[in-house]
């Protein structure tokens, strides 16, 4: 008997990690009016942002139902495997609660549902490490201990072009303090205790990008080791530049570039640049 790792689509995991590590991903949904799309199934990042910028409708999102989770958990549990199910912050989505309801309906199955207290690839990097541990044959207890430690350590910092999407979708959290900013001011945000919090304001995208790198040095030290992720919303060239600067300055053992999917993109909007760090 082994351990199977389940997560949701807001992890924004690159497809190669999902396939290589046998991670099961439960999709959230994006709604443009009456039209419904499955995150990372009906939309990849590019097609979503193209529609977001051309549509007069501001989309909204919805979590998977408990039944969606049950339909995933049952066949995995029938093999005798244990399940660790890791999800976006319960403060940002009802996804975690849906997973808990499904787990409670399947009392005979060995399922542990974990609130990552974050989202996108800040959660995704912890999911990847849990799946690597499962592949290496670690016990469920060992994987959970590592996972909980990683959730406590991982941090993400991100620059958004506008707070409009966070505000309209009700996910703005304490970043509301930055509303009404000056022209060309880019809000820098983070996630703390599961909610979005303001970090600071920076004038201009180029300075915001430089500041993201400085924040990593300030938060973790110049000699930080571990894993890092460069995240972007429809900004591949800027993400590549950021990737190269991070590789040049820090001694991370792994740096991943990942796109923000349609659910996270609905709340953050286009033009997002972010760095997530999981220190050793």
The CATH number covering residue 134 comes to 3.40.50.10440
Contact partners, residue 105, CB within 8 Å, separation at least 6: 66, 70
196 confidence band (pLDDT: 50, 70, 90): confident
Residue owning tokens 């072009």:
161
Q: What percent of the chain has pLDDT over 70?
A: 91
Q: How confident is the model over 7-27, as pLDDT tens digits? A: 999 999 999 999 999 999 999
Of the pLDDT bands very low, low, confident and very high (cuts 50, 70, 90), residue 161 is confident
Query: Of 152, 184, 218, which residue is a domain's last?
Result: 152
> Angle at Cα 64 formed by Cα 171 and Cα 153, nearest 5°?
55
Assigned domain for 187 exists = yes
What whole-number distance in Å separates Cα of residue 131 and Cα of residue 60? 30
Q: Domain boundary at 115, 137, 152, which?
A: 152
Residue 186 clears pLDDT 80, i.e. is over it:
no
Say whether both 123 and 207 belong to one domain: no
Structural domain boundaries enclosing 195:
155-279
Cα-Cα-Cα-Cα dihedral sign, residues 156, 157, 160, 162: positive
Q: Is residue 51 part of a domain?
A: no
Instruction: Tell me if 160 sits within 8 A of 166, measured CB to CB.
Output: yes
List the beta bridge partners of residue 191. Answer: 196
The Cα 63–Cα 51 span in angstroms is 21
Provide the mean pLDDT of the chain. 91
Could you tell me the pLDDT band of residue 226, with boundaries at 50, 70 and 90?
very high
**Would residue 206 count as lying in a domain?**
yes
Domain boundary among 129, 152, 175: 152
pLDDT at position 95: 98
Q: Are residues 112 and 196 in the same domain?
A: no
pLDDT of residue 73: 98
Q: At how many degrees (to 10) do helices 66-77 and 95-105 cross?
A: 50
Domain for residue 243, yes or no? yes
10 and 123 co-located in one domain:
yes
Say how many domains are in the chain: 2
Q: Cα(77)–Cα(65) distance, rounded to whole angstroms?
A: 19
Residue 112 pLDDT greater than 60, yes or no: yes
Whether 91 and 151 have beta carbons less than 8 Å apart is answered as no
Give the Å distances, CA to CA, from 209 to 42, 163, 188, 225, 256: 30, 17, 10, 20, 17
Residue 13: strand, helix, or coil: coil
**Residues 187 and 175: beta-carbon distance below 8 Å:** yes
**Calpha distance 135→146 (Å, rounded):** 14
Name the more confident of 278 and 160. 278
């Amino acid at each position: 008997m082994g351990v199977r790792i389940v997560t949701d689509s807001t992890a924004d995991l690159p497809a190669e990690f999902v396939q290589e590590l046998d991670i099961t991903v439960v999709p959230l949904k994006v709604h443009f009016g009456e039209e419904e799309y499955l995150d990372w199934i009906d939309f990849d990042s590019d097609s979503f942002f193209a529609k977001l910028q051309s549509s007069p409708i501001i989309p909204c999102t919805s979590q998977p139902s408990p039944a969606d989770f049950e339909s995933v958990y049952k066949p995995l549990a029938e093999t005798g495997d244990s399940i660790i199910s890791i999800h976006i912050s319960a403060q940002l989505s009802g996804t975690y609660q849906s997973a808990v309801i499904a787990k409670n309906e399947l009392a005979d199955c060995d399922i542990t549902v974990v609130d990552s207290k974050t989202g996108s690839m800040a959660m995704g990097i912890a999911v990847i490490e849990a799946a690597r541990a499962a592949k290496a044959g670690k016990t469920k207890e060992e994987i959970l201990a590592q996972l909980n430690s990683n959730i406590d350590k991982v941090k993400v910092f991100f620059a958004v072009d506008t707070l409009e999407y966070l505000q309209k979708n009700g996910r703005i959290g304490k970043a509301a303090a930055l509303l009404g900013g000056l022209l060309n001011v880019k809000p820098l945000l983070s996630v703390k205790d599961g909610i979005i919090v303001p970090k600071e304001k920076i004038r201009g995208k180029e300075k915001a990008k430089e500041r993201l790198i400085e924040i990593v040095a300030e938060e973790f030290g110049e000699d930080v080791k571990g894993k890092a992720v460069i995240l972007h919303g429809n900004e591949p060239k800027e993400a590549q530049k950021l990737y190269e600067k991070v590789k040049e300055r820090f001694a991370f053992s792994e740096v991943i570039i990942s796109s923000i999917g349609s659910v996270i993109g609905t709340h953050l909007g286009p033009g997002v640049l972010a760095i997530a760090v999981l220190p050793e």
